[in-house]
A = this chain, B = another copy of it.
Amino acid sequence: MATTETRRRADAERNIAAILDAALVSFTEDPQASMAAIARAAGVGRVTLYAHFPSREVLLEAVLDRTIAAAGAVIEKATPGEGPATEALRRLLRSSWHELDQHRKLFDLAQRELGAAALRQRHREVVDHVEALLVRGQQEGVFRRDLPMTWLVTTVYSLLHAAAEDVNAGRLAAEEAAGVLEATLLPALGSR
């Protein structure tokens, strides 16, 4: 990951990072954000942006890969494979709801702009973590088995996203988000 393909100068490296940061924010705030707007948000000229990312598509892919990697890292940090499944889910929600929401928004965007097929593989990397946790919970007998697994995953992601939207719209305090999610998801997923 840290392999410097072609030796880059420090200021270039800095700008690339700034662009990716700005692009993530811009894309999640407004899926139609223009290259000019992203360059402005990154504090960089439009030409510089194109120098590093030759097209909007390439930029989107780069942001996507970076976000997936970040989401994966944050998930693994929450050790979803350890301890009781309900506890693991709690840890996951507390640490990762924000990252997972960014991942979801970007995924929606990329699905429209890059096509569904190209995305499935990368998407799996993150979703599988959640799915594995849910399966483990089923085996422990604490999560329900009467609904399709895909639906349970959808439920988690969907409410996560809803909470993030509510926080964004000022309808929910950021500190409450994880608690509210817990209180809603556990009964929704729980057996009996």
Tell me the number of copies of this protein.
2
CB distance from A128 to the nearest CB of B (A): 16
Report the nearest B residue to A165, measured CB to CB.
B154
Out of B32, B146, B165, B190, name the residue touching A32 (CB < 8 Å).
B32
Do A146 and B183 touch (CB < 8 A)?
yes
Interface residues in A125-176 (C-beta closer than 8 Å to B): 146-148, 150-151, 154-155, 157-159, 161-163, 165-166, 171-172
In the complex, whether A114 has a CB less than 8 A from a CB of chain B is no
Give Cα A154–Cα B188 distance, bound, in whole angstroms.
15
In the complex, whether A180 has a CB less than 8 A from a CB of chain B is yes
A155: chain B residues within 8 A (beta carbon)? 159, 162, 184
Do A148 and B161 touch (CB < 8 A)?
no
CB distance from A180 to the nearest CB of B (A): 6
Give Cα A162–Cα B187 distance, bound, in whole angstroms.
18
CB distance from A176 to the nearest CB of B (A): 8
Interface residues in A95-131 (C-beta closer than 8 Å to B): 112
Do A184 and B147 touch (CB < 8 A)?
yes
A172: chain B residues within 8 A (beta carbon)? 148, 150-151
Do B162 and A158 touch (CB < 8 A)?
yes
24 contacts between A and B (CB under 8 A): A30-B112, A146-B183, A147-B180, A147-B184, A148-B171, A148-B172, A148-B180, A150-B166, A150-B172, A151-B171, A151-B184, A154-B162, A154-B163, A155-B159, A155-B162, A155-B184, A158-B158, A158-B161, A158-B162, A159-B159, A184-B188, A185-B188, A187-B188, A187-B190
| Known contacts A32-B32, A154-B162; 16 further A-B pairs (Cβ under 8 A) | A147-B180, A147-B184, A148-B180, A150-B166, A150-B171, A151-B166, A151-B171, A151-B172, A151-B184, A154-B163, A154-B165, A154-B171, A155-B162, A185-B188, A187-B190, A188-B188
